Amino acid sequence: TQATAYAAAHDLAKLLIGRNPLDISGCLAALDRYLAANATVKSAFDMALYDLAAKYANMPLYQFLGGNKRPIVTDETIYIAAPEAMADDALKIKERGAEAIKVKLGTNAPADIKRVEAIRTAIGDTIPIRTDANQGWDYVSAIKVLNAVASWNVEYCEQPVKHWDYANLARVRQFARVPLCADESLFGPPDALKLAHLQAVDYFNIKFSKSGGIANALKINAIAEAAGIRCMIGCMSESRLGISANAHFASALTNVAFYDLDSPFEHADDPVLAGITYQNHYHVQIPDTPGHGADIDPAFLRQMESFEVS
């Protein structure tokens, strides 16, 4: 919850007082020793440390991570509704210039098939559809849906079964004709190792809010690359500040092939100064300023609850 994240942030911040912020590994290890899990709040400290280190090196973050600036085009997400309503949303997204559409599924198999069919009929054949079941199917339903929609240019399906059901995830991959992507089954490097060992998926969805930030995301990508698994970079509900760090990471690593960085589209307000921008709505533009390049409007921060650490 926000309350537990806020409380954890207060305690974790105290641990970093007096530490060398350029010792990213040491700082993050201190956080992990003090508190298990809590990847989301830890990711804030991780991103801040990498931002500071890149600024100290006078490099944009993508360069600090050893990469270069590459084209990034995000998809846009359609949420579960009646097939006709989802088809209307898809058509609007296509008309805005989207090059890929992410479609939420996971209710029941016949309805989900109708949703994909309606969307494909509405938008034509040129734009790939990326489905996300959010753990909503069992093994049988997953295979039924995915084989039914396979001919409709479905690029992959995220998390067809429960996050803990690694065995059936691997079975779905064996019998379904749509590639699979791990999301809720993949938090940290140990999950990546297990998924790679089982050959359970074709792709990894890396989210800093799951991994705990950039440091673990780099480890996950290394495991994926060694196993021949491509990655996508995804998001929860981050502002453009968080998305800026995500975009630098994605740009730096050639193994990242898919981009789901659309959460700012849903925000009523944008308190972020500088950082990434969206050209033609979907093309992510990364700044060359040192660090990730984003900051928060001080006027917005003054409205927020705050604490001092000493």
DSSP H helices, the chain, are: 2-15, 24-34, 39-56, 61-64, 83-95, 109-123, 139-149, 166-175, 189-198, 208-211, 214-227, 240-252, 298-301
- Chain region(s) in the chain for CATH 3.20.20.120: 64-296
**Is there a contact between 251 and 62 (Cβ–Cβ < 8 Å)?**
yes
Q: Whose structure tokens read 């969307």?
A: 119
CATH code for the structural domain at 2-58: 3.30.390.10
DSSP 84-133: HHHHHHHHHHHHTT-S-EEEE--S-HHHHHHHHHHHHHHH-SSS-EEEE-
Q: Range(s) for CATH 3.30.390.10 in the chain?
A: 2-58
pLDDT tens per residue across span 158-174: 999 999 999 999 999 99
Backbone phi, then psi, for 89, in 5-degree steps? Answer: -60, -40
Residue 310 pLDDT grade (very low, low, confident, very high; cuts 50, 70, 90): confident
For residue 2, name the pLDDT band (cuts at 50, 70, 90): confident
pTM beyond 0.85: the answer is yes
Instruction: Give the pLDDT confidence of 55-100 residue by residue, as tens digits.
Output: 999 999 999 999 999 999 999 999 999 999 999 999 999 999 999 9
CATH number (1.10.10.60, 3.40.50.150, 3.20.20.120, 2.40.40.20) of 64-296 reads 3.20.20.120
The residues that are catalytic are 104, 132, 158, 183, 207
CA distance 302 to 119: 44
Q: Which among 245, 250, 260, 251 is positioned nearest to 295, based on CA atoms?
A: 245
